[in-house]
């Protein structure tokens, strides 16, 4: 490397390496690709980044991403505002929307409780959720945080806060993923699938 010191190239590789899921080899590949881009395509790329970064903000109601006052889901009058599905990140909204059969609204926490990484309740949009529940008529809150330690802890924390208000609180079901092989399922998932079994 010592000899190969083209500073702007190294700096660019360094920037790409910071991105999630991009290792040294991919970063190098992306950097070389960007250098080869024609000027207009490069401008287009820079512009897309700038515009998205400047224009996209949080929806005033659900804290999901939007470029308007409200996100497309909160704007939609066909949605059932009485069921709020609480997720960690905007990409979880996207994942749930892909089911095409879920018409509740969302609340995006923008993370999960993680004391080790310094994420406490104040770093999440829990306060906004409470304000919202007090203002609107909410029948049910579905905790759809990830099935990880942090997601689990967040679900527990939020549900404890909401219990006194007296709304129904539910959690996504655990079980074996559809299309998967029992053989490869881990013990905990299998145990949860057994616990959650239902009559046929």
| Residue placing its CB nearer to a copy of itself in the complex, 97 or 136 | 97
Report the alpha-carbon distance of residue 118 to residue 141 in Å, rounded: 26
Q: Which of 61, 62, 71, 162 binds a copy of itself (CB under 8 A)?
A: 71
Told to check if 105 binds a copy of itself by CB under 8 A, we report: no
CB of 184 to a copy of itself, least distance (A): 21
CB of 132 to a copy of itself, least distance (A): 20
Told to check if 117 binds a copy of itself by CB under 8 A, we report: no
| Residue placing its CB nearer to a copy of itself in the complex, 50 or 168 | 50
Stretch that binds a copy of itself, among 47-55, 126-134, 170-178, 183-191 (CB under 8 A): 47-55
Told to check if 76 binds a copy of itself by CB under 8 A, we report: yes
Report the alpha-carbon distance of residue 88 to residue 59 in Å, rounded: 15
Told to check if 194 binds a copy of itself by CB under 8 A, we report: no
Determine the Cα angle at 80 with ends 59 and 164, to 5°.
80
Pairing of strands 168-171, 140-143: parallel
Terminal CA-CA length for the chain: 64
Q: Which of 60, 69, 80, 97 binds a copy of itself (CB under 8 A)?
A: 97
Scan for tokens 């006052």, then name that residue. Answer: 69
Told to check if 113 binds a copy of itself by CB under 8 A, we report: no
Told to check if 94 binds a copy of itself by CB under 8 A, we report: yes
Report the alpha-carbon distance of residue 123 to residue 126 in Å, rounded: 8
Q: State how far the alpha carbon of 175 is from the alpha carbons of 30, 33, 74, 144, 178, in Å.
A: 38, 42, 30, 14, 9
Report the alpha-carbon distance of residue 4 to residue 84 in Å, rounded: 54
| Residue placing its CB nearer to a copy of itself in the complex, 107 or 162 | 107
CB of 55 to a copy of itself, least distance (A): 5
Told to check if 52 binds a copy of itself by CB under 8 A, we report: yes
| Residue 55: how many other CB atoms lie within 10 Å | 10
Q: State how far the alpha carbon of 142 is from the alpha carbons of 36, 43, 98, in Å.
A: 48, 43, 17
Residue numbers at the binding site for a copy of itself (CB under 8 A) = 1, 3-9, 11-12, 14-15, 19-22, 26, 28-35, 37, 39, 42, 44-46, 48-53, 55-56, 65-67, 71-73, 76, 89-91, 93-94, 97
């Amino acid at each position: 490397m010592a000899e190969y010191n083209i500073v702007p190239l190294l700096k660019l590789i360094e920037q790409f390496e910071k991105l999630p899921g991009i290792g040294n080899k991919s970063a190098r590949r992306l950097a070389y690709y960007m250098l080869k881009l024609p000027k207009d395509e490069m401008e287009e790329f820079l512009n897309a980044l700038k515009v998205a970064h400047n224009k996209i903000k949080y929806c005033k109601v659900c804290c999901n991403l939007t470029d308007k006052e409200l996100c497309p889901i909160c704007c939609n009058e066909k949605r059932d505002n009485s069921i709020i599905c609480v997720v960690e990140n905007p990409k979880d909204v996207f994942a749930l929307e892909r089911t095409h059969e879920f018409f509740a609204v969302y609340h995006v926490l923008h993370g999960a409780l993680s004391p080790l990484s310094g994420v406490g309740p104040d770093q999440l949009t829990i306060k906004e959720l409470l304000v919202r529940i007090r203002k609107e008529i909410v029948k049910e809150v579905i905790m759809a945080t990830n099935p990880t330690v942090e997601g689990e802890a967040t679900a527990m924390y939020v549900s404890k806060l909401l219990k006194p208000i007296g709304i129904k609180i539910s959690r996504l079901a655990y079980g074996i993923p559809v299309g998967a092989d029992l053989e490869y399922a881990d013990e905990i998932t299998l145990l949860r699938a057994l616990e959650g079994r239902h009559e046929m």
